[in-house]
Structure 1
Amino acid sequence: MTVEFQTSLFDSPDDLDCPDGTGGPDAALGPLGGTVTRHVLTRGAWVDVRPGWVSGSDELFARLVTDVPWHAERRVMWDNEVAVPRLLKFYAEDEPLPDPLLVEARHALDRHYAAELGERFRSAGMCFYRDGRDSVAWHGDTIGRSSTEDTMVAILSLGEARRLSLRPRTGGESISFPVGHGDLLVMGGSCQRTWEHAVLKTARPVGPRISIQFRPYGVR
């Protein structure tokens, strides 16, 4: 599979990184620590954001486009079978991840959130949003333990930025974070139970985005 997308200005080659102008810088993780900003929500929920966690992220995006065995799914909704508006791939705990940088990212998340989470991130779900028509509706990741327990879902976004929106389950104003080009967003505390999140359709021209969701065991 090949796609065209608008690269980030921060990932573009320059004279130092690419003297011959043949490609962008290698993808690499930055630090976490004090670079992460926490946004406290209501009812014990919070969201951490680390912009540009992966530098040279467009290179990683391009690798995943071709290396991940993306597939389309159909699901039953309101007695109708409909196409899921994005491509998918789920990597279970015992399934090797498709790129060594994702393994490194999972280890870094394990270290950073060890004291708070108390366990490791295990699985990695992936979504490929091909354009603005691809989306995910309002939901919480409440299959498994997250329906009754606090947990974390760490999302690494590659490709063009899309807005990840959140709203309280009981009603109220929504908030949103534009994430793409190597940004990290982590939903924690009661977020999956007390808030919902979505990537909504948009009519404006947008390029493709890949979302990698790292989750602990028993959370889906």
Structure 2
Amino acid sequence: MPVSAGACTCADLFDSAPYRTVVADAEGGVRYWPQWVGQAQAEDWFAALRDGIEWQTLQRPMYERIVDVPRLLAHFELAALPAGSPLARMWAQVNATVPGAYTHAGLNLYRDGRDSVAMHNDKLHSLVPGEPIALVSLGDTRRMNLRAKDGGRACGLDLAPGSLLAMSHASQLTHEHGIPKTARPVGPRMSVVFRARPQAAR
């Protein structure tokens, strides 16, 4: 049975199908591959990116003071990546599964359960219309909350290491997503997010 654009179905995500549709829309919706790459590959990518790139701590104004963004960040222009680098290999593999005109990769490193990102949708002016967003999860498992903007039922996806989440451009109009803080003991987790940026936003 088709899932409406306002619905969110997180049950039965781990059957024999290679991916599950969490939200359906005309552009592919939100799809989740729980075992996109094997454990060894996921661990290799995590270690290479954690140790091989320069992570940044950013700050932002909040409640009349400046606070640290609760995670570390890094950004890369895909065309400038060295051939054969871990990120370039990941990009090629993502593009084989979820084809797109990707131009940039944004990385987030959640050091422990205190790191998070609030519910949001990607800024539409910084995305090429019709192009997907592809998110690779590495490190420890963290829950992503997904909520329809029209007040539909919210749900949580436990993003496993080596998993892939694809979100359509259209889904950014209908849904928000975020990584909540957790009191459970969790290890570091990394997301690598591939996006197609318009020329004016680069």
Q: What's 1:29 paired with?
A: none
Give the counterpart letter for 2:164 in structure 1. Answer: L
CA contact (8 A) 2:81 2:87 kept: no
SS in 1 for 2:80: coil
| Residues 4-153 of structure 1 mapped to structure 2, 5 A cutoff | 35-41=18-24, 46-55=29-38, 56=40, 57-96=42-81, 100-114=85-99, 119-146=100-127, 149-153=129-133
CA-CA distance at 1:123 after TM superposition: 0.5
Q: Which deviations, in whole Å up to 9, do the C-alpha atoms of 1:44-76 show, x marking residues without a partner?
A: 772111122222111221121110101111012
What's the TM-score, normalizing by structure 1?
0.73
Displacement, 1:149?
3.5
Cα distance in 1 for residues equivalent to 2:130 and 2:175: 12
Contact persistence 1:164–1:179 (CA under 8 A): yes
| Among candidates 185, 192, 199, match of residue 205 of structure 1 | 185
User: How far apart in 2 are the matches of 1:100 and 1:150?
Assistant: 28
Aligned length, in residue pairs: 182
Offset of residue 153 of structure 1: 1.0
Aligned partners of 2:49 and 2:86 also within 8 Å: no
Displacement of 1:136 in angstroms is 0.2
Quote the RMSD (CA, aligned, Å). Answer: 2.6
Helix, strand or coil: the match of 2:173? helix
One-letter amino acid of the structure 1 residue matched with residue 129 of structure 2: E
Cα distance, 1:145–1:74 mapped onto 2, change above 3 Å: closer
Name the TM-score, length of structure 2 as normaliser. 0.79
Gaps of 5+ in 1: 1-33
Distance in structure 2 (CA, Å) of the matches to 1:206 and 1:143: 32
Contact 2:133 2:169 in 1 (8 A): no
Counting aligned pairs with the same residue, the percent is 34
Report whether the alignment pairs 1:175 with 2:155: yes
Structure number, greater radius of gyration = 1
Q: Structure 1 residues 142, 98: CA separation in 2 closer, same or farther (over 3 Å shift)?
A: farther
Cα deviation code 1:76-95 (max 9, x no counterpart) = 23433111000000112443
CA distance in 2, matches of 1:180, 1:99: 25
